[in-house]
Amino acid sequence: MPDLFTPLTPTQKADFHRRYLAYLRGRDGEPQWQTHTFSVREAFYQRIDQRPVRRTGAPVVSQDVFDHHHVRYRPGEKLDEPTLWALCVAKTNRGERFGVEYAHRIGTAERNGDPGNPTTYIGIEEFYHTRILRDVLRVIGLEMEMLDPSLTQQWLIKTMARLPKKLGLPLILCGEITGVAMFQLLLNKARELFADQPGPLARIEELFAQIMVDEVGHVHYARSQLDAPGLTIAKWLLPLVARGIVDGMPEYYQLFGRERLMEEVLRADVDAAARPYPDRFIPFDAEEQARPAA
């Protein structure tokens, strides 16, 4: 991922901020921090709520088995792939949502929903991701309660939130890159596990598309906030941060294997993850992307 760790020029940073904010306003609409909603994006979720899609036939995952392992740190060793997948889906957004809530609680994040600050949109998007993942699980017949991340993840998140911005941003970039890789793995596995019923799979794809587009934008925004030394630090920290995140969700290791998971994070093609979606954010055109920082 050499491009992600190449610094932007001051002109590129200013252009990125302007274009990304305009994109967020157009795609999401007006942010309402009190309700964690957007004026435009709510229409998508209202349609989802009005037209639920569910798998038919015997459940692929038992609600009782899911509930039992959802509250555990380490799942049982004999769980099948659909159950492990469901547990990964349930736990993946815990960290980011906890981080948004914690940052607001301690006053290190924008409290008033400033529509001129991209982090306002990013924070609300994380709440939408919880809603999306809950709907994903409903497609396969499961209900999910949102729980806090593991104690290790909580410690990592709290540390990141309290660090000076210059030190915390490299960790945030690493976390966002890891998130893109994890969601891509989950989407690919869904295509493998649930291909027998195209309609429900299409709904899962539709929901995941919202997350993939958001997360790739988050990666580019985090990158735009860093200078050359910060990006160098992020590149060095990526495997450490990724392991710290995934260690809190052992289901990922059981479903994908430790080595493969880390390989996917380290070689993740972030832009390719959102390329299939026409509403994705394109940070720079080819000419601008190739221009080196001074």
155 versus 77: which is more confidently predicted? 155
Q: How many domains does the chain have?
A: 1
Side chain identity at residue 69, one-letter code? H
285 versus 226: which is more confidently predicted? 226
DSSP string covering 186-217, please? HHHHHHHHSTTSHHHHHHHHHHHHHHHHHHHH
What is d(CA 102, CA 79) in angstroms, rounded to the nearest whole number? 33
Model confidence pLDDT, tens digit, residues 111-150: 556 888 998 999 899 889 989 999 999 999 999 988 888 7
Residues 6+ apart with CB under 8 A from 66: 83, 86, 87, 90, 142
The residue among 58, 206, 240 whose CA lies nearest residue 135 is 206
pLDDT at 287: 42
Residue reference for tokens 């479903």: 255
Contact 30, 116 (CB under 8 A): no
Number of residues that make up the chain: 294
pLDDT at 286: 42
pTM check: above 0.85 = yes
Q: Give the SS3 label for residue 221.
A: helix
Contact 90, 137 (CB under 8 A): yes
3-state helix, strand, coil in the chain (%, to 5): 70, 0, 30
What is d(CA 201, CA 182) in angstroms, rounded to the nearest whole number? 18
Residue 102 has pLDDT above 60, yes or no: yes
> Which ranges in 29-142 belong to alpha helices (H)?
42-50, 63-70, 81-92, 94-106, 118-139
Model confidence pLDDT, tens digit, residues 10-63: 999 999 999 999 999 999 999 988 888 999 999 989 999 999 999 999 999 999
Mean pLDDT estimate for the chain = 88
Model confidence at 255, pLDDT cuts 50, 70, 90, reads: very high
Of 44-48, 89-93, 185-189, 258-262, give the range with the top mean pLDDT. Answer: 185-189
pLDDT at 285: 57
pLDDT at 52: 95
Residue 2 has pLDDT above 70, yes or no: no
Residue 200 has pLDDT above 50, yes or no: yes
Give mean pLDDT, residues 63-72.
92
Residues 6+ apart with CB under 8 A from 96: 126, 129, 175, 179
pLDDT at 108: 59
User: 58 lies in which domain range?
Assistant: 2-290
pLDDT at 85: 97
Side chain identity at residue 113, one-letter code? G
Model confidence pLDDT, tens digit, residues 156-186: 788 877 888 788 899 999 999 999 999 999 9
